[in-house]
Amino acid sequence: MPGFERFGVAERKSANEVLDSGVLMRYGFDGMRQGRWMAREMENALAKRMQSRHAHLVSSGTAALTVALASAGVGAGDEVIVPTFTFVASFEAVLSVGAIPVLCDVDDTLTLDPGAVREAITPKTRVIMPVHMCGSMADLRSLKAIADVHGLLLLEDACQAIGGSYEGKPLGSYGHIGCFSFDYVKTITCGEGGGLITDSDEIYEKAQAFSDHGHDHIGSDRGAEGHPHLGYNYRIGELNAAIGLVQLGRLDEFLDIQKTHYSRLRDVLESLEGVQLRRVPEGGIENYSFLNFFMQDENKARSVAKGLGKAGFDGVFYWYDNNWHYHRKWDHLKKLESLSPLSEALVSQFQATRTQSFEGSDHWMGRNLSILVKLSWDEKELQKRCRILKEVVSAGQDQ
Ligand SMILES: *Cc1c(COP(=O)(O)O)cnc(C)c1O
């Protein structure tokens, strides 16, 4: 997945252009910046690549989710459906606008189970937030149908699946808003950064203002601009955007490499008994950043994870035990260990989650293993990995 593996001459050159002009901020300083608007250029390129009317860059993927929610008018007392398997950023963004995260089961796609989503809807629900984990997507057709029936916002977190598609549309562009992260370990990186895409003029207008203290960005005198509504600072800087602009141009090059590496490992798994691959919804094309598969039970999955580690096959994740990505270790969320008091609505509406069990998720996640697909592997490394994978998974069947 990580674009940092291919950080090179072009990225350095682009960053140096910013350093040469000395304009590190994305707004203003028109005279000094010698015609370079890195954030603006990357936004144009992102909107084009994602076949969306608008793209807006911010300081992180978490900020993108936060700005998306705020711009859609989601706040106090509103419920947002998020999966049990995601990154903590999902519920952090929801909490940051004062809304209530409602955890919901994942299925064999490793993303939101549409059946569980239907059951989780209440009169307070405002948003369904599918998270396209580990390179592949949620069943967006079903989720969109549910969202349409109930008048809900479909907000795609495509931070881990940039470049994948569903029914011919780039991931992130199927719902009302899509979010990306360009942090250091994502498929393409700005160092730190994030972005949102949308076809809605209204959401875009609010997003670009909200993420910059409410600035309406009208005219050429920043100090004289109006503030039609409250905002915050989630701006990206020009240095980050300069690097991201180059990496975005290399996205398809990275995806090709990932696909080749992924396919070699996948061929090995397909030749083995008792291994089930993660389900990719019909009409979906992955971004190949991870290869996910299920063993027959939790013990076998644990033993294969251990075996791969011992054999020197790094980058294998057993998410079921993970602190940052799976609900079982989110005690801080379940106990609402906030540094400051939270609203009464949040505390009372959130109660049920503390003791809720997620058997549907545990069934799949307990058996799942996830291999990070790296860009830097050469032919020798690939052959070695294929050999180890075959040996260890075969041995794991007999546990
Ligand atoms: C990385 C990530 C985020 C947050 O992105 P940051 O840029 O690190 O804030 C959100 N959701 C998912 C699924 C991610 O993987």
pLDDT (tens digit, 9 = 90+) per residue, 128-157? 999 999 999 999 999 999 999 999 999 999
Q: Using the mean position of ligand 1's atoms as its centre, give its distance from the Cα of residue 324 in Å.
A: 11
Residue 232, pLDDT > 90, answer: yes
Q: Does any ligand 1 atom lie closer than 6 A to the CB of residue 159?
A: yes
Angle at 107 between CA 102 and CA 109, to 5 degrees: 115
Ligand 1, atom 2, lies closest to the CA of: 159
Q: Tens of pLDDT along 268-279?
A: 999 998 899 999
User: What pLDDT is recorded for position 166?
Assistant: 98
**Residues 225, 359: Cα–Cα separation, whole Å:** 52
The string of pLDDT tens digits covering residues 290-339 is 999 999 999 999 999 999 999 999 999 999 999 999 999 999 999 999 99
Cβ atoms of residues 212 and 27 within 8 Å: yes
* CATH node for 252-396: 3.90.1150.10
What is the predicted pLDDT for the residue at 399?
A: 65
Distances (CA, A) of 218 to 33, 200, 204, 208: 19, 19, 14, 12
Cβ(131) – ligand 1 distance below 6 Å:
yes
pTM of the model: 0.97
Q: How far is the CA of 290 from the centre of ligand 1 (A)?
A: 15
Residue carrying the six token digits 């711009």: 71
- What Rg value do the Cα atoms of the chain yield, rounded? 21
- Please tell me the predicted confidence (pLDDT) of residue 354: 80
- Of 131, 160, 234, 326, the residue with max ligand 1 atoms within 8 A of its CB, to mutate for a pocket test, comes to 160
Residues 6 or more apart in contact with residue 141 via CB below 8 angstroms:
166, 167, 281, 283
Phi, psi values for residue 398, rounded to 5°: -90, 5
Nearest CA to ligand 1 atom 3: 61
Tokens 């250091």 locate to 184
Query: CB–CB of 74/80 below 8 Å?
Result: yes
Between 273 and 352, the higher pLDDT residue: 273
For the chain, where do the domains classified as CATH 3.40.640.10 start and end?
Answer: 3-250
- Residue 292: which of 87, 41, 109, 58 has the closest Cα? 109
Element (H, E) at 305: helix 298-310
Catalytic residue IDs: 186
Q: What is the pLDDT of residue 1?
A: 65
The owner of tokens 């989630």 is 234
pLDDT value at 253 more than 90 = yes
* Ligand 1 proximity of 61 Cβ (cutoff 6 Å): yes
CATH 3.90.1150.10 maps onto the chain at 252-396
What CATH number labels 3-250? 3.40.640.10
pLDDT at residue 396 is higher than 90: no
pLDDT classification of 288: cutoffs 50, 70, 90: very high
